[in-house]
Structure 1
Amino acid sequence: MLNAEQSLRALLDEGTAKGSLVPGAKLPTERELVQRLSAPRSAIRRALDVLEEEGLVIRQVGRGTFLSELAQRRADAPADTSPAEIMQVRLVIEPPVAALAARVATQADLDRITICLDSGGASDEFEAFESWDAKLHRAIAEAAHNGLLMNMFDVMNTARSLPVWGSLKRRTSTPERRRCYHAEHTAIVEALCDRDPDGAEKTMRTHLDNVADNLLGRR
């Protein structure tokens, strides 16, 4: 049985695939989502919080919740993209982005990154850890303050929403590996806070190499 967040994602995916939801389209109200998804209002609000943090929806006080352009790009992600291709692109993009972030991140950026790091470290369950993992990597990309790079990152990151990626991550995830990833995340964040571009790039590359090894059975 799907939880509220999974059900809401499925609703958005179905709408964007059919063309009934386009960037800027208004989503049903919380009350309507409660009825449609048979979920408590508190769970719907938490799910909307997660989607807003990921940039998939835009919430405007007094107006409602709207689909973002990023959500459409994710829906358009090629279904035949493989985990190996995803990791190849991540290794090309994310280490240099981390180096740039180490140079230009504001203190607010670093605070947001640290919150993601700490929240991931405190997450014992697979779903929660994966959610904070994605938020951490996106927060690092945002800290580079480069719109073109951010667009490239989001296009690359669309593939992480594909079923083949999620099922492989779940199948290869263990508490020990999550602890290892958290230690690697910590090293990345420490380099960012130290304003060490070389260290940020190196630790990010080491982390992604380890993720690729675990996902693709290279060790």
Structure 2
Amino acid sequence: MINLPASTIERDAAGIVRARLLGIIENGNLPPGGRLPTERDLSETMGISRRAVRQAMESLLADGLIWRKQGKGTFAGQPPDKTQMLAAEVAGETNFTELMDARLCIEPTLAAMAARNALPADIERMRNLARRTLESTDNASIEIWDGALHRLIARAACNKPLFTAFSMIDEIRSNETWRGIRSKARSLETLRISDTEHHAIIDLIEAGDPDGAEAAMRRHLTTLADNLKRILHS
């Protein structure tokens, strides 16, 4: 019998917990407010150490898929902020062209700034999120991972005012109507094209090439816009 090191066993256990939590998030099987089970509940129901549960939650936190509020618990998605109320008002008053124009104004600049400020750990997480986007087999999962990738790039830019502007646009595009339009424009071919474009952006961010990262993000968003236009005008 081979005795595995304790660190390996714990890492595997954390992977199991992470997969369980991802399943809950992706299936939308959450109570109102998106509150996740506590570390204690997960540890007891799954028979896994609290340390492994904590490691799994830390990895999801780093990916931008969950957030914590002291004394309240851990929640799926991003923490609420003032931009959400404004975004909810704007969502019904805007249109596809305005939304994509706004993304093209902000996200290429954020990609350029990320090329100056992203840390090696950010790059690693970006690659993991891009991989999970391509590997996803349903639209809900694709939305989760793709959105997390774009948020991480925006956060890695290290500019709070621009990140706030991005967050409002991101909140608008997460509207159910917009998600439905994107799902109609999505295919295996478009996913592969997006994956190539995602990795091109990440490569240029890692290389510390602001101009290249900005141009790559602009190309990516233009490709998305062209795909959506075909659906909207068909």
**What are the equivalent positions in structure 2 for 1:9-158 lying under 5 Å apart?**
11-12=32-33, 30=37, 54=64, 57-60=67-70, 63-65=72-74, 68-70=79-81, 73-76=83-86, 77=88, 78-80=90-92, 81-158=94-171
2:35 and 2:226 mapped to 1: Cα distance?
42
Alignment length (residue pairs): 190
Q: CA deviation at 1:147?
A: 1.4
Shift of 1:201: 0.6
**Residues in 2 aligned to 1:54 and 1:95: alpha-carbon distance in whole angstroms:** 20
- 8 Å contact from structure 2 (residues 114, 205) kept in 1: yes
The residue aligned with 1:212 is 225
Is the contact made by 1:101 and 1:192 (CA closer than 8 Å) also made in structure 2? yes
- Match of 1:69, SS? coil
Q: 2 CA distance for matches of 1:88 and 1:152?
A: 13
Partner of 1:35: none
Using the TM superposition, give the Cα deviation of residue 28 of structure 1 relative to its aligned residue in structure 2, in angstroms. Answer: 6.1
- Cα RMSD between the aligned structures? 3.3
Runs of 4+ in structure 1 over 4 Å off: 3-10, 49-57
For the pair shown, which has the larger CA radius of gyration, 1 or 2?
2
SS at match of 2:68: strand
CA distance in 1, matches of 2:99, 2:30: 21
| Residue of structure 1 equivalent to 2:13 | none
**TM-score under structure 2 length normalisation:** 0.68
Contact in 2 for aligned 1:117/1:186 (Cα 8 Å) = yes
Deviation at 1:84, TM superposition (A): 2.2
Q: Distance in 2 between matches of 1:82 and 1:4?
A: 32
Same amino acid, percent of matched pairs: 33
Provide Cα deviations, 1:66-109, integer angstroms capped at 9, x if missing partner: 68333x63354223132222111000000011011101111122
Query: Which residue of structure 2 aligns with residue 18 of structure 1?
Result: none
TM-score, normalised relative to structure 1: 0.72
The CA distance in 2 between the partners of 1:51 and 1:195, in whole Å, is 25
What SS does the aligned partner of 1:195 have? coil
Check whether the contact 2:108–2:217 (CA below 8 A) recurs between aligned residues. Answer: yes
Gaps of 5+ in 1: 13-26, 32-40
